[in-house]
């Protein structure tokens, strides 16, 4: 199987997971928002398939999920989230490609990708708040949204994503290597 075909197929799988995983917490939107389950497949896509695929899956996922399920709300949350998840996919893919393939660097890649994605989310929300009188976005709102409310998801991602990447590497299923 050609690498491109494999990466496209896996990207479709990751996009499908972006649609399905949030359904696990649909009864409790606060829990779903805190766990950020849509972020996991995007991060994995960056690691497994590389940054172009991570970018595409990350940007499309919240927009497609809005079209299919009406969540997340398209403005401003879904729009900012599209840029955030695209950044996750890019940073995870690029850092994984260029950093050594040792386990500590998998964690470093993940943490840097999460920080970069949150910075992009903050920038997108700031731009959207300037473009709309309805959105009030302060630095305190950035800290609360990016770190305080997201802490359960941050912990979940730091525990789960590296374990999946390590397992996929051991099984020789990484399309990006």
| pLDDT (0 to 100) of residue 134 | 73
Phi, psi angles (nearest 5°) of residue 27:
-75, -20
| Spatial contact of 17 and 41, defined as CB atoms under 8 Å apart | yes
Place of tokens 């990466």: 7
CA–CA separation, 30 and 168 (whole Å):
31
Is 3-170 in CATH node 3.40.50.10490? no
Which residues of the chain are under the pLDDT cut of 70?
Answer: 1, 27, 32
> What is the domain partition of the chain in residue ranges?
3-170
| Per-residue model confidence (pLDDT) at position 25 | 83
Strand (E) or helix (H) holding 43 = helix 39-49
pLDDT value of position 7: 95
pLDDT of res. 145 = 87
Distance separating alpha carbons of residues 172 and 60, to the nearest angstrom: 27
């Amino acid at each position: 199987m050609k690498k491109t075909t494999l990466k496209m197929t896996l990207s479709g799988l990751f996009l499908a997971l972006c649609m399905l995983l949030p359904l696990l917490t649909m009864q409790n939107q606060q829990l779903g928002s805190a766990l950020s389950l849509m972020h996991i497949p995007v991060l994995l896509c960056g690691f497994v398939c590389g940054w172009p695929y991570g970018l595409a899956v990350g940007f499309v996922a919240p927009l497609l999920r809005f079209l299919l399920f009406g969540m997340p709300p398209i403005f401003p949350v879904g729009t900012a989230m599209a840029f955030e998840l695209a950044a996750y996919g890019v940073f995870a893919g690029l850092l994984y490609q260029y950093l050594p393939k040792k386990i500590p660097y998998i964690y470093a890649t993940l943490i840097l990708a999460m920080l970069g994605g949150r910075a992009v989310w903050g920038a997108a929300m700031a731009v959207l708040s300037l473009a709309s009188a309805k959105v009030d976005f302060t630095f305190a709102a950035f800290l609360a949204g990016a770190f305080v409310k997201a802490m359960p998801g941050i912990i979940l991602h730091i525990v789960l994503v590296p374990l999946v990447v390590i397992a996929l590497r051991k099984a020789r299923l990484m399309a990006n290597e």
